[in-house]
C-alpha cells in the first residue's frame, strides 16, 4: 500500500510539473464570451509560442470554441475535437456539434474545438493571390513542367512566408500537439480526451507520442499513416480511390435508381478522361474546359459520403445527359479572386516528405499509380498537393509511431474510404502497439462516427468510460433507421475544401 501511494504521489507530482511547464509557455488562460457568429457557443483565444523551442519568443493566438455539457451534474470534462484537413476549423465544428455528436456525448462533455495554427482564425497561412494564380497545372508531363514548378514554388513560398510571418515555418502536427497540451492545461484537465477525424488523427497520434502519460482517451477516426514516404503515400491513396470507384460501379450495376444503370459505366468514364486529356470536355454549368484531374476529383468527392446518386448524375451530365439534382462546383485548384489566397497544403508538406528529385522519378510514380488504379489512374488529392511541397521543409519527418502510455487508444476506419485508406488505420494501430484497438466499419466513405449505431455507440462508450472493444471488432452496415446522426456528407454536400482551392477551407483528410 505504501509503495502504491508513493507511486501515485510521484505520478501526480510529474503531472503537476508538466502542467506547470506548459502553462509557463502560455500567456494567460482563456477568456470565454459568446461567439459573434454563433452566440449559443462560447469563443476565446489561447496564446502559445510560435516556436515551442523558444517559449519566450513571439506568440500566436489559437482560436477556441466550446459548447458546455448539457447536463452539468453528469459532466465528465472537456472533449477536444478536430475535423481534419489540413485546414479544417475546429471552431466551426463546435458550431455544428449539435448535429454531429450524440446527445449523450453532448450531455457528458464540454465540446471544445480549435482552429490549428495556420488555419482559419488562428493566423492562417496566406499568400498573394497574384502569385498563387501563377500556379502551373498540377499534373506534370515533362521535365520542363517540373522545372516550371521548381521555379514557381521558390517564388510562392517566399511570398507566403512574407505574407504569413514567422508562423509559416512552424505549423506541423508536432507544433499542434504541443498547442493541444496547452489547451488541455488551460481547460483545467489533468489528461486529454480527444476525438480527431482524418488529418486530426495525426495531431492525436503526435500527442500520444509526445505526452503518453497525459492521455485519458484518444478516439482517432479515419487515420493518417505517418510512416509513409512519397511512394507509399501515393500508391495507397491510388488503390483507395480505385476501390471506392469499384464500389460505386457495383452499386450502380445493381440499383435501378442509378441514372447509369444498365450502361457501361467504365467505358463512359474512360471516354470522359480521354476527352479531358484532349481538351474537349467542358463543365456544362461554367463552360470551362475540364482537366483529367478535375474529372478524377469527382470519383474521390462522390465517394467520401458516399453520395453515389449525385456522382452517377454528374458523370451522366458530363457525358451529355441531364444535370444532377445538385450541381457541384468545378473541383480542384483554380484561380482565386481578391488579394489573398490560403495555402493549408503547407501543413501537409511539413508533416510528409512528398518531394521528388526530377520528372523521371515523378513519372515513374505516376506510372505505378495508373497500373494500380486502371479506372481512376491516381488519387487527385496528393497529386494536387505534391508539387506544392517543392522547396519547402518537412519539419516533422515521417516515422513509425511509438506510444508508451497506459491509456487504451481507439482507432477506426471504413473498409472503403477513398481519402484515408483502411490500411492506414491498420498500420497506425499496429505501430501504436497493444494499447491501440482498431474498429473496422464494413461500409463506405470517410469518417465512421455517426453513420451507423454500432460504431457510434462504441466510440461514445470509449470516450465516456474509456472502455475499448475487443481487438478485431467490426461493425456491419446498418439500416437507414439505425443511422444515429444526419450528416452533411450523406446529403448533396461534397467536401468543400476541394471544390474551391485557395479560398477558405474546411475539412478533408
pLDDT confidence of 482, banded at 50, 70, 90?
low
Predicted local confidence at residue 506, as pLDDT: 31
Predicted local confidence at residue 492, as pLDDT: 47
In the predicted model, what is the mean pLDDT of residues 31-50?
Answer: 97
Q: Coil, strand or helix: which one is 178? A: helix
Residues 6+ apart with CB under 8 A from 282: 288, 289, 290
pLDDT confidence of 480, banded at 50, 70, 90?
low
pLDDT in tens, 293-336: 999 999 999 999 999 999 999 999 999 999 999 998 999 888 99
C-alpha–C-alpha distance, residues 489 and 407, integer Å:
32
Q: How many residues does the chain have?
A: 509
Predicted local confidence at residue 426, as pLDDT: 98
DSSP result, 230-280: HHHHHHHHHHHHHHHHHHHHHHHHH-TTSTTTTS-HHHHHHHHHHHHHTT-
At residue 407, does pLDDT exceed 80? yes
Predicted local confidence at residue 332, as pLDDT: 87
Of residues 88, 22, 60, 363, the one with CA closest to residue 224: 88
Of residues 506, 509, 508, the one with CA closest to residue 119: 506
At residue 500, does pLDDT exceed 80? no
Q: Where are the alpha helices (DSSP H) in 115-229?
A: 129-132, 143-164, 173-186, 199-210
Predicted local confidence at residue 493, as pLDDT: 57
Residues 6+ apart with CB under 8 A from 439: 410, 411, 412, 413, 448, 455, 458, 459, 469, 473, 474, 475
Residues 6+ apart with CB under 8 A from 462: 217, 219, 408, 410, 468, 469
Residues 6+ apart with CB under 8 A from 231: 365, 368
C-alpha–C-alpha distance, residues 163 and 112, integer Å:
29
Say if residues 166 and 123 touch (Cβ distance below 8 Å): no
Q: Residue 375 corresponds to which cell in the numbers above?
A: 479506372
pLDDT in tens, 412-467: 999 999 999 999 999 999 999 999 999 999 999 999 999 999 999 999 999 999 99
pLDDT confidence of 489, banded at 50, 70, 90?
very low
At residue 114, does pLDDT exceed 50? yes
Q: Coil, strand or helix: which one is 31? A: coil
Of residues 392, 408, 398, 405, the one with CA closest to residue 470: 408
Predicted local confidence at residue 478, as pLDDT: 79
Q: Coil, strand or helix: which one is 390? A: coil
C-alpha–C-alpha distance, residues 293 and 296, integer Å:
5
Neighbours of 91 (CB within 10 A): 25
Predicted local confidence at residue 499, as pLDDT: 42
Taking the CA atoms of residue 261, residue 266, residue 272 and residue 275 in that order, the dihedral angle to the nearest 10 degrees is -140
At residue 498, does pLDDT exceed 80? no
In the predicted model, what is the mean pLDDT of residues 373-383?
Answer: 97
C-alpha–C-alpha distance, residues 184 and 216, integer Å:
11
Give 78-108 as a 3 state SS string: EEEEECCCCCCCHHHHHHCHHHCCCHHHHHH
Predicted local confidence at residue 13, as pLDDT: 39
Q: Which sign, positive or negative, has the C-alpha torsion 160, 164, 166, 171?
A: negative
Predicted local confidence at residue 488, as pLDDT: 41
At residue 485, does pLDDT exceed 70? no
Strand order in the sheet with 33-34: 33-34, 42-49, 59-67, 109-114, 77-82, 192-197, 215-221, 409-416, 436-444, 474-475
C-alpha–C-alpha distance, residues 434 and 429, integer Å:
8
Which of 241-250, 442-451, 492-501 shows the lowest per-residue confidence on average (mean pLDDT)?
A: 492-501
Predicted local confidence at residue 454, as pLDDT: 96
C-alpha–C-alpha distance, residues 281 and 295, integer Å:
9
Residues 6+ apart with CB under 8 A from 2: none
Predicted local confidence at residue 333, as pLDDT: 87
C-alpha–C-alpha distance, residues 382 and 320, integer Å:
29
At residue 19, does pLDDT exceed 60? no
φ and ψ at residue 454, rounded to 5 degrees: -55, -60
Domains and CATH numbers, the chain: 15-118+168-224+401-481 (3.40.50.1820), 238-318 (no CATH)
Say if residues 175 and 183 touch (Cβ distance below 8 Å): no
471: left (phi over 0), alpha (psi -120 to 50) or beta: beta
pLDDT confidence of 497, banded at 50, 70, 90?
low
pLDDT in tens, 152-192: 999 999 999 999 999 999 999 999 999 999 999 999 999 99
At residue 508, does pLDDT exceed 50? no
pLDDT in tens, 192-233: 999 999 999 999 999 999 999 999 999 999 999 999 999 999
At residue 1, does pLDDT exceed 80? no
Q: What is the pTM of this model?
A: 0.91
pLDDT higher for 12 or 369? 369
Q: Residue 160 corresponds to which cell in the numbers above?
A: 507566403
Predicted local confidence at residue 10, as pLDDT: 39
Predicted local confidence at residue 185, as pLDDT: 97
DSSP conformational letter for 197: E
Predicted local confidence at residue 14, as pLDDT: 36
Amino acid at each position: 500500500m505504501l509503495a502504491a501511494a508513493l507511486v501515485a504521489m510521484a505520478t501526480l507530482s510529474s503531472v503537476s510539473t508538466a502542467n506547470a511547464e506548459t502553462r509557463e509557455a502560455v500567456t494567460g488562460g482563456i477568456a470565454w464570451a459568446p461567439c459573434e457568429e454563433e452566440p449559443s457557443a462560447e469563443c476565446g483565444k489561447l496564446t502559445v509560442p510560435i516556436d515551442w523551442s523558444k517559449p519566450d519568443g513571439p506568440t500566436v493566438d489559437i482560436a477556441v470554441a466550446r459548447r458546455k455539457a448539457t447536463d452539468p451534474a453528469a459532466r465528465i470534462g472537456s472533449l477536444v475535437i478536430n475535423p481534419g484537413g489540413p485546414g479544417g476549423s475546429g471552431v466551426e465544428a463546435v458550431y455544428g456539434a449539435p448535429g454531429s455528436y450524440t446527445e449523450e456525448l453532448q450531455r457528458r462533455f464540454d465540446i471544445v474545438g480549435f482552429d490549428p495554427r495556420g488555419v482559419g482564425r488562428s493566423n492562417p497561412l496566406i499568400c498573394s493571390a497574384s502569385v498563387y494564380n501563377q500556379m502551373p497545372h498540377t499534373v506534370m508531363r515533362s521535365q520542363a513542367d517540373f522545372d516550371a514548378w521548381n521555379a514557381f514554388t521558390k517564388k510562392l513560398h517566399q511570398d507566403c512566408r512574407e505574407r504569413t510571418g514567422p508562423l509559416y515555418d512552424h505549423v506541423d502536427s508536432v507544433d499542434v500537439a504541443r498547442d493541444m497540451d496547452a489547451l488541455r492545461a488551460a481547460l483545467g484537465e489533468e489528461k486529454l480526451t480527444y476525438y480527431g477525424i482524418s488529418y486530426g488523427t495525426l495531431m492525436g497520434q503526435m500527442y500520444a507520442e509526445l505526452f503518453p502519460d497525459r492521455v485519458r482517451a484518444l478516439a482517432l477516426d479515419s487515420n493518417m499513416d505517418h510512416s509513409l514516404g512519397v511512394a507509399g503515400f501515393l500508391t495507397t491513396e491510388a488503390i483507395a480511390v480505385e476501390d471506392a470507384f469499384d464500389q460505386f460501379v457495383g452499386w450502380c450495376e445493381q440499383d435501378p435508381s442509378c441514372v447509369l444503370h444498365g450502361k457501361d459505366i467504365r467505358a463512359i468514364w474512360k471516354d470522359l478522361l480521354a476527352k479531358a486529356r484532349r481538351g474537349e470536355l467542358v463543365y456544362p454549368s461554367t463552360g470551362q474546359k475540364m482537366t483529367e484531374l478535375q474529372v478524377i476529383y469527382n470519383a474521390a468527392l462522390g465517394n467520401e459520403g458516399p453520395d453515389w446518386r449525385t456522382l452517377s448524375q454528374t458523370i451522366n451530365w458530363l457525358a451529355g445527359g441531364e444535370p444532377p439534382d445538385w450541381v457541384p462546383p468545378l473541383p480542384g485548384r483554380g484561380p482565386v479572386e481578391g488579394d489573398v489566397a490560403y495555402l493549408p497544403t503547407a501543413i501537409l508538406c511539413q508533416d510528409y516528405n512528398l518531394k521528388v528529385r526530377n520528372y523521371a522519378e515523378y513519372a515513374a510514380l505516376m506510372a505505378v499509380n495508373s497500373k494500380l488504379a486502371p479506372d481512376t489512374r491516381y488519387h487527385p488529392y496528393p497529386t494536387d498537393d505534391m508539387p506544392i511541397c517543392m522547396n519547402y521543409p518537412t519539419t516533422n519527418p515521417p516515422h513509425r509511431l511509438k506510444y508508451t502510455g497506459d491509456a487504451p487508444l481507439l482507432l477506426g476506419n471504413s473498409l472503403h474510404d477513398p481519402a484515408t485508406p483502411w490500411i492506414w488505420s491498420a498500420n497506425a494501430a499496429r505501430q501504436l502497439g497493444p494499447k491501440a484497438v482498431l474498429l473496422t466499419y464494413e461500409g463506405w466513405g470517410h469518417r465512421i462516427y455517426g453513420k451507423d449505431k454500432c460504431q457510434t455507440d462504441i466510440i461514445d462508450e470509449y470516450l465516456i468510460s474509456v472502455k475499448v472493444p475487443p481487438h478485431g471488432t467490426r461493425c456491419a452496415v446498418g439500416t437507414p433507421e439505425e443511422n444515429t446522426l444526419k450528416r452533411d456528407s450523406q446529403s448533396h454536400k461534397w467536401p468543400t475544401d476541394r471544390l474551391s482551392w485557395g479560398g477558405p477551407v474546411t475539412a478533408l483528410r
